[in-house]
Structure 1
Amino acid sequence: MITVPDINTLFETFEKRSQPIRNLDKLRIGDADYLPFVTNYKSQELCADIILLDYEATLQENRYLADNYPDLAPAIWLFARSGQGDEWFIDRKTLQVLYYDHEKGEYGDLKDFLEIPVRFAGFVQLGLVIQQLEDRLDIEDLLKLQGEYKAALEQIHPLLYGVYPYRYFED
Protein backbone atom coordinates (compact mmCIF):
# COMPACT_ATOMS: atom_id res chain seq x y z
CA MET A 1 0.00 0.00 0.00
CA ILE A 2 1.34 3.43 -0.95
CA THR A 3 1.24 5.68 2.08
CA VAL A 4 1.79 9.40 2.56
CA PRO A 5 4.75 9.92 4.92
CA ASP A 6 4.10 11.76 8.16
CA ILE A 7 5.16 15.37 7.81
CA ASN A 8 7.06 15.21 11.12
CA THR A 9 9.33 12.37 9.95
CA LEU A 10 10.02 13.42 6.36
CA PHE A 11 13.79 13.67 6.68
CA GLU A 12 14.44 10.58 8.83
CA THR A 13 16.12 8.60 6.06
CA PHE A 14 18.00 11.53 4.49
CA GLU A 15 21.78 11.73 4.68
CA LYS A 16 22.86 14.48 7.07
CA ARG A 17 25.59 17.03 6.42
CA SER A 18 28.71 16.58 8.53
CA GLN A 19 28.24 20.17 9.80
CA PRO A 20 24.86 21.93 9.75
CA ILE A 21 24.73 25.39 8.18
CA ARG A 22 24.37 27.94 10.96
CA ASN A 23 24.45 31.22 9.02
CA LEU A 24 21.14 31.59 7.17
CA ASP A 25 21.91 35.03 5.69
CA LYS A 26 22.36 33.66 2.15
CA LEU A 27 19.09 31.73 2.27
CA ARG A 28 16.58 34.29 1.16
CA ILE A 29 13.54 32.08 1.45
CA GLY A 30 11.07 32.02 4.31
CA ASP A 31 9.70 28.48 4.15
CA ALA A 32 9.96 27.04 7.68
CA ASP A 33 9.91 23.45 6.36
CA TYR A 34 12.54 24.05 3.68
CA LEU A 35 15.15 25.69 5.90
CA PRO A 36 15.70 22.63 8.16
CA PHE A 37 16.28 20.51 5.07
CA VAL A 38 18.76 22.78 3.27
CA THR A 39 20.75 23.55 6.42
CA ASN A 40 21.02 19.99 7.76
CA TYR A 41 21.00 17.55 4.83
CA LYS A 42 22.91 16.66 1.68
CA SER A 43 21.28 16.58 -1.75
CA GLN A 44 18.67 13.83 -1.94
CA GLU A 45 17.31 11.99 -4.95
CA LEU A 46 13.76 11.10 -3.95
CA CYS A 47 12.87 9.76 -7.39
CA ALA A 48 13.84 10.42 -11.01
CA ASP A 49 11.56 13.46 -11.04
CA ILE A 50 12.79 15.03 -7.80
CA ILE A 51 16.37 15.67 -6.74
CA LEU A 52 16.53 18.05 -3.78
CA LEU A 53 19.62 20.25 -3.90
CA ASP A 54 21.90 20.83 -0.93
CA TYR A 55 22.97 24.20 0.45
CA GLU A 56 25.95 24.74 -1.84
CA ALA A 57 24.15 23.71 -5.03
CA THR A 58 21.13 25.81 -4.12
CA LEU A 59 23.25 28.91 -3.56
CA GLN A 60 25.10 28.36 -6.84
CA GLU A 61 21.87 27.92 -8.83
CA ASN A 62 20.18 30.94 -7.27
CA ARG A 63 23.29 33.09 -7.79
CA TYR A 64 23.13 32.11 -11.48
CA LEU A 65 19.45 33.13 -11.56
CA ALA A 66 20.22 36.49 -9.94
CA ASP A 67 23.06 37.17 -12.39
CA ASN A 68 21.19 36.12 -15.53
CA TYR A 69 17.52 36.76 -14.74
CA PRO A 70 17.55 39.76 -12.38
CA ASP A 71 13.86 40.56 -12.97
CA LEU A 72 12.70 37.01 -12.22
CA ALA A 73 15.15 35.92 -9.49
CA PRO A 74 13.55 37.94 -6.66
CA ALA A 75 10.27 36.04 -7.19
CA ILE A 76 11.57 32.45 -7.21
CA TRP A 77 14.00 30.14 -5.40
CA LEU A 78 15.41 27.11 -7.22
CA PHE A 79 15.64 24.15 -4.82
CA ALA A 80 15.38 20.95 -6.88
CA ARG A 81 15.60 19.52 -10.35
CA SER A 82 14.54 16.40 -12.18
CA GLY A 83 16.74 13.85 -13.85
CA GLN A 84 15.35 15.10 -17.18
CA GLY A 85 16.66 18.65 -16.65
CA ASP A 86 13.42 20.26 -15.51
CA GLU A 87 13.54 22.44 -12.41
CA TRP A 88 11.55 23.00 -9.23
CA PHE A 89 11.22 26.39 -7.54
CA ILE A 90 9.55 27.94 -4.54
CA ASP A 91 7.52 31.07 -5.21
CA ARG A 92 8.98 33.47 -2.65
CA LYS A 93 5.65 35.24 -2.08
CA THR A 94 3.22 32.30 -1.81
CA LEU A 95 5.78 29.58 -0.90
CA GLN A 96 4.04 27.31 -3.43
CA VAL A 97 6.17 24.94 -5.49
CA LEU A 98 6.63 25.84 -9.15
CA TYR A 99 7.69 23.59 -12.01
CA TYR A 100 9.64 24.68 -15.08
CA ASP A 101 9.89 22.45 -18.16
CA HIS A 102 13.40 22.77 -19.62
CA GLU A 103 11.98 22.33 -23.14
CA LYS A 104 10.52 25.84 -22.86
CA GLY A 105 14.08 27.18 -23.10
CA GLU A 106 15.08 30.40 -21.36
CA TYR A 107 13.02 31.56 -18.40
CA GLY A 108 10.53 34.21 -19.31
CA ASP A 109 7.85 35.40 -16.97
CA LEU A 110 6.53 33.88 -13.76
CA LYS A 111 3.39 32.86 -15.67
CA ASP A 112 5.55 30.39 -17.64
CA PHE A 113 5.97 28.28 -14.50
CA LEU A 114 3.42 25.62 -13.52
CA GLU A 115 2.13 26.08 -9.98
CA ILE A 116 1.98 22.86 -7.99
CA PRO A 117 -0.59 23.09 -5.16
CA VAL A 118 1.85 22.22 -2.36
CA ARG A 119 4.61 23.84 -0.37
CA PHE A 120 7.99 22.25 0.33
CA ALA A 121 6.82 19.68 2.92
CA GLY A 122 4.02 18.47 0.64
CA PHE A 123 6.50 18.30 -2.21
CA VAL A 124 8.80 16.03 -0.18
CA GLN A 125 5.78 13.86 0.65
CA LEU A 126 5.06 13.71 -3.09
CA GLY A 127 8.63 12.61 -3.84
CA LEU A 128 8.49 9.88 -1.20
CA VAL A 129 5.14 8.66 -2.55
CA ILE A 130 6.64 8.46 -6.06
CA GLN A 131 9.60 6.58 -4.59
CA GLN A 132 7.18 3.96 -3.25
CA LEU A 133 5.44 3.84 -6.63
CA GLU A 134 8.70 3.33 -8.52
CA ASP A 135 9.70 0.51 -6.18
CA ARG A 136 6.52 -1.36 -7.06
CA LEU A 137 5.93 -0.57 -10.76
CA ASP A 138 7.37 -3.84 -12.05
CA ILE A 139 5.76 -6.18 -9.54
CA GLU A 140 2.24 -4.89 -8.94
CA ASP A 141 -1.10 -4.88 -10.67
CA LEU A 142 -0.93 -1.51 -12.45
CA LEU A 143 -4.62 -0.65 -12.08
CA LYS A 144 -4.51 -1.23 -8.32
CA LEU A 145 -1.22 0.64 -8.05
CA GLN A 146 -2.62 3.60 -10.01
CA GLY A 147 -5.54 3.83 -7.59
CA GLU A 148 -3.20 3.82 -4.58
CA TYR A 149 -0.93 6.42 -6.17
CA LYS A 150 -3.81 8.71 -7.11
CA ALA A 151 -5.34 8.42 -3.62
CA ALA A 152 -1.98 9.22 -1.98
CA LEU A 153 -1.45 12.32 -4.13
CA GLU A 154 -5.01 13.49 -3.50
CA GLN A 155 -4.40 13.03 0.23
CA ILE A 156 -1.47 15.47 -0.03
CA HIS A 157 -3.66 17.90 -2.02
CA PRO A 158 -6.93 17.17 -3.88
CA LEU A 159 -5.65 18.71 -7.14
CA LEU A 160 -2.13 17.27 -7.07
CA TYR A 161 -2.75 14.15 -9.20
CA GLY A 162 -4.25 16.21 -12.02
CA VAL A 163 -1.56 18.92 -11.94
CA TYR A 164 1.64 16.91 -11.45
CA PRO A 165 3.51 17.20 -14.78
CA TYR A 166 4.94 13.67 -14.96
CA ARG A 167 2.50 10.92 -15.86
CA TYR A 168 3.07 7.35 -14.76
CA PHE A 169 -0.30 6.08 -15.98
CA GLU A 170 -2.60 6.77 -18.90
CA ASP A 171 -5.93 8.11 -17.69
Structure 2
Amino acid sequence: MEEKYMACSIHGKQEMALLCTHLAHSLHNRLAVGFFEYDTGDMGRPDAWCNTCERAWNHTQTEEDREQWFIDCQHKLICVSCWDEAKALNQIATEIHFKLLTIAEIKTVLLEDDAGVPFPKNIAFPFPSLYPLFAKRAETTTISSETTLFNTVEALSENKTNNGSTHWIFARNGQGDRWLFDEKGHVFFGDHDHQPMSLHPLYLNFEQWLQLAFCVQQLDDWLDAGYPPERIAISFNETLNTIHPQLAENYPFELI
Protein backbone atom coordinates (compact mmCIF):
# COMPACT_ATOMS: atom_id res chain seq x y z
CA MET A 1 0.00 0.00 0.00
CA GLU A 2 1.22 3.50 -0.88
CA GLU A 3 0.95 4.80 2.70
CA LYS A 4 3.61 2.28 3.77
CA TYR A 5 6.21 4.24 1.81
CA MET A 6 8.08 7.44 2.53
CA ALA A 7 10.61 9.67 0.81
CA CYS A 8 13.89 9.39 2.73
CA SER A 9 16.33 12.27 2.18
CA ILE A 10 19.17 9.73 1.99
CA HIS A 11 17.68 6.60 0.41
CA GLY A 12 14.76 7.93 -1.62
CA LYS A 13 11.39 6.16 -1.74
CA GLN A 14 11.40 3.33 0.80
CA GLU A 15 9.03 1.36 2.98
CA MET A 16 8.51 2.87 6.43
CA ALA A 17 9.57 1.53 9.81
CA LEU A 18 9.50 2.68 13.44
CA LEU A 19 12.42 3.32 15.80
CA CYS A 20 12.30 4.64 19.34
CA THR A 21 13.70 8.14 19.69
CA HIS A 22 16.98 6.87 21.19
CA LEU A 23 17.66 4.61 18.20
CA ALA A 24 16.75 7.40 15.81
CA HIS A 25 19.22 9.74 17.52
CA SER A 26 21.92 7.06 17.40
CA LEU A 27 21.95 7.42 13.62
CA HIS A 28 23.24 10.95 14.17
CA ASN A 29 25.48 10.67 17.24
CA ARG A 30 26.68 7.10 16.35
CA LEU A 31 26.43 5.97 19.99
CA ALA A 32 25.17 2.38 20.23
CA VAL A 33 22.23 2.02 22.62
CA GLY A 34 21.10 -1.59 22.07
CA PHE A 35 18.48 -2.98 19.75
CA PHE A 36 15.25 -4.89 20.38
CA GLU A 37 12.57 -5.61 17.83
CA TYR A 38 9.05 -6.97 17.56
CA ASP A 39 7.30 -7.58 14.27
CA THR A 40 3.72 -6.31 14.23
CA GLY A 41 3.51 -7.13 10.53
CA ASP A 42 2.19 -3.74 9.45
CA MET A 43 5.46 -1.97 8.53
CA GLY A 44 8.46 -2.61 6.34
CA ARG A 45 10.48 -3.74 9.37
CA PRO A 46 9.66 -4.75 12.96
CA ASP A 47 9.18 -1.97 15.50
CA ALA A 48 12.50 -1.43 17.31
CA TRP A 49 13.67 0.12 20.56
CA CYS A 50 16.79 0.51 22.71
CA ASN A 51 18.07 -0.80 26.05
CA THR A 52 16.46 2.06 27.98
CA CYS A 53 13.06 1.41 26.44
CA GLU A 54 13.44 -2.34 26.97
CA ARG A 55 14.10 -1.82 30.68
CA ALA A 56 11.00 0.36 30.87
CA TRP A 57 8.97 -2.31 29.06
CA ASN A 58 10.03 -4.93 31.60
CA HIS A 59 8.41 -2.84 34.33
CA THR A 60 5.03 -2.58 32.60
CA GLN A 61 2.21 -4.63 34.09
CA THR A 62 -1.08 -3.35 32.72
CA GLU A 63 -2.37 -2.46 29.29
CA GLU A 64 -2.36 1.17 30.39
CA ASP A 65 1.33 0.84 31.29
CA ARG A 66 2.09 -0.56 27.84
CA GLU A 67 0.20 2.23 26.10
CA GLN A 68 2.18 4.80 28.09
CA TRP A 69 5.39 2.94 27.26
CA PHE A 70 4.65 3.30 23.56
CA ILE A 71 4.09 7.03 24.01
CA ASP A 72 7.29 7.42 26.03
CA CYS A 73 9.32 5.66 23.33
CA GLN A 74 8.54 8.59 21.03
CA HIS A 75 8.82 6.40 17.95
CA LYS A 76 10.10 8.03 14.79
CA LEU A 77 9.16 7.12 11.25
CA ILE A 78 12.23 6.21 9.24
CA CYS A 79 12.87 4.26 6.06
CA VAL A 80 13.80 0.59 6.09
CA SER A 81 17.35 1.31 4.95
CA CYS A 82 17.85 3.65 7.91
CA TRP A 83 16.30 0.94 10.11
CA ASP A 84 18.84 -1.58 8.81
CA GLU A 85 21.65 0.87 9.54
CA ALA A 86 20.34 1.42 13.07
CA LYS A 87 20.26 -2.32 13.71
CA ALA A 88 23.80 -2.82 12.44
CA LEU A 89 25.04 0.05 14.62
CA ASN A 90 23.17 -0.76 17.83
CA GLN A 91 22.80 -4.52 18.03
CA ILE A 92 26.28 -4.99 19.49
CA ALA A 93 25.30 -2.96 22.57
CA THR A 94 22.09 -4.87 23.31
CA GLU A 95 21.69 -5.85 26.96
CA ILE A 96 21.02 -9.57 26.71
CA HIS A 97 18.78 -10.77 29.50
CA PHE A 98 16.51 -13.68 30.33
CA LYS A 99 13.27 -13.51 32.27
CA LEU A 100 12.77 -16.27 34.83
CA LEU A 101 9.05 -17.03 34.65
CA THR A 102 7.12 -17.84 37.80
CA ILE A 103 5.00 -20.97 37.93
CA ALA A 104 1.92 -18.74 37.90
CA GLU A 105 3.10 -17.17 34.63
CA ILE A 106 3.88 -20.59 33.17
CA LYS A 107 0.39 -21.79 34.09
CA THR A 108 -1.06 -18.85 32.18
CA VAL A 109 0.88 -19.88 29.08
CA LEU A 110 0.50 -23.66 29.21
CA LEU A 111 -2.86 -24.26 30.84
CA GLU A 112 -5.03 -22.41 28.35
CA ASP A 113 -5.71 -25.79 26.78
CA ASP A 114 -6.70 -28.47 29.29
CA ALA A 115 -9.04 -30.38 27.02
CA GLY A 116 -6.93 -33.53 27.15
CA VAL A 117 -7.39 -36.65 29.22
CA PRO A 118 -6.14 -37.27 32.76
CA PHE A 119 -3.90 -40.17 33.72
CA PRO A 120 -5.75 -43.42 34.44
CA LYS A 121 -6.19 -44.11 38.12
CA ASN A 122 -4.25 -47.36 37.82
CA ILE A 123 -0.99 -45.49 37.11
CA ALA A 124 0.87 -45.93 40.37
CA PHE A 125 3.89 -43.73 39.68
CA PRO A 126 4.25 -40.97 42.32
CA PHE A 127 4.06 -37.93 40.04
CA PRO A 128 5.12 -34.46 41.21
CA SER A 129 1.95 -32.67 42.27
CA LEU A 130 1.73 -30.24 39.34
CA TYR A 131 2.81 -32.62 36.59
CA PRO A 132 -0.59 -34.24 35.83
CA LEU A 133 -2.10 -30.77 35.49
CA PHE A 134 0.42 -29.79 32.80
CA ALA A 135 0.25 -33.17 31.06
CA LYS A 136 -3.53 -32.95 30.77
CA ARG A 137 -3.45 -31.07 27.50
CA ALA A 138 -5.00 -31.84 24.15
CA GLU A 139 -1.63 -31.65 22.43
CA THR A 140 1.99 -32.36 23.24
CA THR A 141 3.64 -28.94 23.62
CA THR A 142 6.99 -27.82 22.24
CA ILE A 143 8.24 -25.11 24.58
CA SER A 144 11.72 -24.78 23.09
CA SER A 145 14.16 -26.60 20.84
CA GLU A 146 15.24 -28.77 23.77
CA THR A 147 11.97 -29.17 25.66
CA THR A 148 8.79 -30.77 24.35
CA LEU A 149 6.35 -31.68 27.11
CA PHE A 150 4.30 -34.81 26.41
CA ASN A 151 0.58 -34.76 26.94
CA THR A 152 -0.98 -37.64 28.86
CA VAL A 153 -1.48 -39.85 25.80
CA GLU A 154 2.11 -39.56 24.57
CA ALA A 155 3.52 -39.87 28.07
CA LEU A 156 1.65 -43.15 28.55
CA SER A 157 2.97 -44.37 25.20
CA GLU A 158 6.55 -43.41 26.10
CA ASN A 159 6.34 -45.24 29.41
CA LYS A 160 4.31 -48.32 28.41
CA THR A 161 7.38 -50.57 28.56
CA ASN A 162 8.56 -49.08 31.84
CA ASN A 163 6.61 -51.31 34.18
CA GLY A 164 8.32 -51.21 37.53
CA SER A 165 10.69 -48.45 36.43
CA THR A 166 11.84 -45.91 38.98
CA HIS A 167 11.80 -43.14 36.35
CA TRP A 168 9.03 -41.53 34.28
CA ILE A 169 9.65 -40.01 30.84
CA PHE A 170 7.76 -36.72 30.59
CA ALA A 171 9.44 -34.79 27.76
CA ARG A 172 11.90 -34.97 24.87
CA ASN A 173 14.00 -32.73 22.68
CA GLY A 174 14.42 -32.59 18.92
CA GLN A 175 17.41 -34.95 18.87
CA GLY A 176 15.67 -37.89 20.49
CA ASP A 177 16.88 -37.32 24.04
CA ARG A 178 14.44 -37.62 26.92
CA TRP A 179 13.65 -35.80 30.15
CA LEU A 180 12.66 -37.94 33.13
CA PHE A 181 11.96 -37.64 36.82
CA ASP A 182 12.39 -40.29 39.48
CA GLU A 183 10.02 -41.30 42.25
CA LYS A 184 11.19 -38.38 44.36
CA GLY A 185 10.51 -35.89 41.57
CA HIS A 186 14.17 -35.27 40.70
CA VAL A 187 14.70 -34.42 37.02
CA PHE A 188 17.20 -36.24 34.80
CA PHE A 189 18.39 -35.77 31.24
CA GLY A 190 18.34 -39.00 29.23
CA ASP A 191 21.04 -39.17 26.55
CA HIS A 192 19.77 -41.32 23.68
CA ASP A 193 23.29 -41.74 22.25
CA HIS A 194 23.92 -44.37 24.91
CA GLN A 195 22.10 -47.69 25.11
CA PRO A 196 20.70 -48.20 27.59
CA MET A 197 19.95 -44.51 27.89
CA SER A 198 22.34 -42.81 30.31
CA LEU A 199 20.75 -40.52 32.89
CA HIS A 200 22.32 -37.26 34.03
CA PRO A 201 20.90 -35.57 37.15
CA LEU A 202 20.08 -31.88 36.96
CA TYR A 203 19.13 -31.53 40.65
CA LEU A 204 15.88 -29.86 39.66
CA ASN A 205 12.26 -30.57 40.42
CA PHE A 206 9.53 -30.47 37.77
CA GLU A 207 8.62 -26.84 38.43
CA GLN A 208 12.24 -25.78 38.04
CA TRP A 209 12.43 -27.78 34.81
CA LEU A 210 9.50 -25.75 33.48
CA GLN A 211 11.40 -22.57 34.30
CA LEU A 212 14.43 -24.00 32.51
CA ALA A 213 12.29 -24.82 29.47
CA PHE A 214 11.14 -21.22 29.11
CA CYS A 215 14.70 -19.96 29.57
CA VAL A 216 15.73 -22.20 26.67
CA GLN A 217 12.84 -20.77 24.66
CA GLN A 218 14.34 -17.31 25.15
CA LEU A 219 17.77 -18.70 24.31
CA ASP A 220 16.41 -19.91 20.97
CA ASP A 221 15.05 -16.42 20.28
CA TRP A 222 18.34 -14.69 21.12
CA LEU A 223 20.34 -17.09 18.95
CA ASP A 224 17.88 -16.80 16.06
CA ALA A 225 18.18 -13.01 16.24
CA GLY A 226 21.89 -13.27 15.51
CA TYR A 227 23.37 -11.85 18.71
CA PRO A 228 26.91 -13.00 19.67
CA PRO A 229 26.66 -16.49 21.22
CA GLU A 230 29.41 -15.69 23.73
CA ARG A 231 27.39 -12.82 25.20
CA ILE A 232 24.18 -14.83 25.16
CA ALA A 233 25.88 -17.69 27.01
CA ILE A 234 27.00 -15.44 29.87
CA SER A 235 23.49 -14.17 30.57
CA PHE A 236 21.91 -17.58 30.01
CA ASN A 237 24.25 -19.28 32.47
CA GLU A 238 23.65 -16.58 35.07
CA THR A 239 19.91 -17.16 34.76
CA LEU A 240 20.28 -20.93 35.00
CA ASN A 241 22.16 -20.54 38.25
CA THR A 242 19.26 -18.60 39.73
CA ILE A 243 17.16 -21.73 39.23
CA HIS A 244 19.83 -23.92 40.84
CA PRO A 245 23.38 -22.85 41.77
CA GLN A 246 24.94 -25.61 39.65
CA LEU A 247 22.52 -25.72 36.75
CA ALA A 248 24.83 -23.99 34.28
CA GLU A 249 27.43 -26.65 35.06
CA ASN A 250 24.91 -29.49 34.79
CA TYR A 251 23.09 -28.21 31.70
CA PRO A 252 23.59 -31.00 29.14
CA PHE A 253 24.13 -28.92 25.99
CA GLU A 254 27.02 -26.81 24.73
CA LEU A 255 26.05 -23.25 23.85
CA ILE A 256 29.20 -22.22 21.99
TM-score range, shorter chain: 0.7 to 0.9
In 2, Cα distance between equivalents of 1:49 and 1:22: 24
Structure 2 residues without counterparts, runs of 5 or longer: 1-96
Deviations 1:63-91 (A, max 9, x none): 1222xxx5xx1x11110111101111111
Superposed, which structure 2 residues align to 1:25-40 within 5 Å? 25-26=122-123, 28-40=125-137
Q: Over aligned residue pairs, what C-alpha RMSD do you find?
A: 2.0
| Contact 1:29/1:77 (8 A) holds in 2 | no
SS in 2 for 1:65: coil
* Equivalent AA in structure 2 for residue 29 of structure 1: P
Q: Which has the larger radius of gyration?
A: 2
Equivalent residue in structure 2 for 1:65, among 134, 137, 162: 162
Q: Which residue of 1 aligns with 2:202?
A: 116
In 1, Cα distance between equivalents of 2:220 and 2:168: 28
Count of equivalent residues:
158
Deviation, structure 1 residue 54: 0.4
1:53 is the counterpart of 2:150: yes
Equivalent residue in structure 2 for 1:102, among 179, 183, 192: 192
SS in 1 for 2:132: helix
Deviations 1:94-124 (A, max 9, x none): 21101111111234xxxx4111111111111
TM-score, normalised on structure 2?
Answer: 0.57
Deviation, structure 1 residue 143: 3.2
* Equivalent AA in structure 2 for residue 104 of structure 1: H
* Equivalent AA in structure 1 for residue 185 of structure 2: L
SS in 2 for 1:31: coil
| Contact 2:116/2:139 (8 A) holds in 1 | no
Greater RCO between the two (CA within 8 Å, min separation 6)? 1
In 1, Cα distance between equivalents of 2:138 and 2:240: 25
Q: Taking every aligned residue pair, what percent have the same amino acid on both sides? A: 23
In 2, Cα distance between equivalents of 1:149 and 1:37: 25
Q: Which residue of 2 aligns with 1:89?
A: 180
Deviation, structure 1 residue 4: 0.7
